[in-house]
Structure 1
């Protein structure tokens, strides 16, 4: 009822003294309380608020001065309607209502908006009649837990606990812990469970709980009787656990019918029973499973998947087809009334998917971090030199600094704009010959001086007259800046020793790459022998030889694993040219 937030809420107003006295009388008459207990349950300073549920049902809500909802009623004539306690009130007075207990895996299902089904009932404390208010708490042997849900009893509890009724709804839930009504209050945690029969008052309030449910076992006079009692309790606990697992499995089937199975085409059937169970039922189990018993067929009352599926077929949820060695699912019925009434919950499959996606994101982040750590950054730089120095001095830029290509272009544009060198007839061209500094900075001895040129051509010519530098950085290590023109890594296939082809790698030293690291990695990747040898001449560096034609593998390794930009790799196959000679 309160799965979704309240609508059409009115401003809360203080409850007048006369109305509070009437409310106390209603509480006393409805729940048979002593006058001394009323101030605790109907305290001073109450507030009242009108509201509507998400089904547009009108109601009244009574708050404590601290802001906790204590009582509510539903109906147009809410003042004369049934007065229902909230879980905050039940935590003040635990035995206010008769109590049904259920295993811990069922509690999240109730919180999600479902009703309590007959297979999920473990015991009943008190003697509720059909249609009367009851609370639902988590089953814990020897204890009575706090009320976590309030609802109307839907069946005769005597028939329920005697086994005459084994399916259907046991309690129609009205309000639960963690629903929107509970969220209006202080959102405190439930109190801890109390030992059952801890005080004479609670034993008296429990009434005939021992007659209705196996709450406790009378003491035996000898050791043999005690052993029999313990054996009976263990068997009984096992039956209760099996019943709760069976209830959760049925809820999981309803969830699967409402979600994954509803969208399957008819061509997906017949489907093997094991596939149906592992791919649809198990992932649809409620996510909050805190009980000690695993939720699977082996721990249910069915013991076999076939028995569970045949029971589901009798209920009209699925249709089976006999096949060997196991039955198959011939059809499913997502439009069944029980499926339509089922309230969806968060499933184990959704949690597993979230964990998988989180792991994938973490793996991608880790791979990206590793790629950054081993990525190779190569930047070409230029320093003002000889005739280009005057141009940088004119635009007031440091002549001892190193500049990238974009910074050189910016300096050139600044100089052109300052000296108004744009050709008036064709603005794409720059009048170079009309300015001595620009002409000297962009001309050399091997080429005649430029008369006019585009900005791109001038940038290239200016960089040629400047001193080349380069900066190489591997991952997060300190960058290495050196003077000189940087040349690409050479990967060449040549014929050596007669007809044997080999791949030769040179010029990798300026890129901070280790020859032994490259050789060892390529030996495994290419499944061939490798060798490192010095090049002839002074300062010739080293050469890596890989047996066979391995151009693609080597290029992919340099770019993918070592992060060398493709611009700085030159690949050539000279083996055919050698053979032609």
Structure 2
């Protein structure tokens, strides 16, 4: 539902006290396990924002003061109140859960629904249309369950999931970790796996105990059902969160083959065949692998060497036996007796291809990145960058040098002009050191120009660049900023880059601070309003602490990329933007 950016996103507005109380009453009525005094899920300062999905479905999101979406509704009117992944991280037991292997999570994030073969465990007595959370399955003994990574509605009753050979959808997914609704918030690391009470007959009973009850035919009624996922339907789980077994790699490659047949190969004209096995593998199967990361990503490369087949020929012949494609041996060359395996056709009407749910692939991510780069390049061409010129004026000790060189002492000089003037003086006075031409002999004028009351060292020679640097240090800094259709602005002083820093404020909340933007003809109010709209987060303006002048703009969340893109769109050259993340976490 939120796999694409939200459209018609309105500016977030604080909820009135009366509306907040009504929302809180509604939350407590829908989820009685939440105590009325709990302020965590309906905090003071709650914001609301209206939006439309890419399918033009209207909705309302309720955001915490830091910008994290906590609840949302869909459709016209009040709609059902649905908790987000951020809310479920605070209250993991708020909804009954289903668990699925780690490799299925990227498919869900890509916009697919959860299929029945992808369900490993589920809470008992689930009803059709009931709200549920989807977690990552953790293999092994114990009662650990991964944090909720998706929210959805049951497509059928949980009793139907256990039927042998049952296929189809188990959960209609509404919202996932890393989708466009989740991206409105501050992000953050996925929580650790948690202990779920009431898994066994007694709180804390582990899976081994539960298995022993099953052997006696006395499975507790409140224990989650455990199902063996079908290997040929969905990507498998990771065995320990870090590695994949050969069978699991094979399943992922098979899923990638289904994706490529459904989305690409079925649309190729017959003249595109035959395709050699190696080209088929590298051009269609590998780019169709799932792209999204998971909380515990596998380290095993998903390639044919790590699969149970070990060879591409074996993998393709297995797919031919299933009726997914057609193979043929043909001679490599007219003179050679060796043969190459080629694919002469695929079967897009195969039942597994028709039942396959599309997901975001590595190729999709590459194409998206390329399109984004093209858009950025197009925007850069549209926006005329500011012309920023650093320059210096003769001042105090450097005045005598410019007078002796016959140059104006009231003009501004760029670094290139200063170096050219200095080179002319060196050549006219034969100051190049005959023993080492990279050094310049220091005559009386240069010595008096570079000397100071605090530094009385006697200089005999210096390198050209060092000589230029020391001369510039003796001059007065100025800068000139030219914007299209406006008179150039010339000011005294050094020009510092715009600072964009992510810091942790108010406990564990990350915020982005922007300072030193005034010299670039930008105002605090303008930046605050634009960032509030772009980031759908709260913003504020205040004086820079510890300084007599200058304002700072604060926007909730880690927004370095959004701020940088806004500044570049307003003509600020990227080299004049300095960013850093001081939050102690990855961006």
Superposition TM-score tier, normalisation by shorter sequence? 0.3 to 0.5
Higher-Rg member (1/2)? 1
Higher helix share: 1
* TM-score, with length taken from structure 2: 0.47
TM-score of the superposition, structure 1-length normalised? 0.47
Q: Which has the higher contact order (CA 8 A, sep 6+)?
A: 2
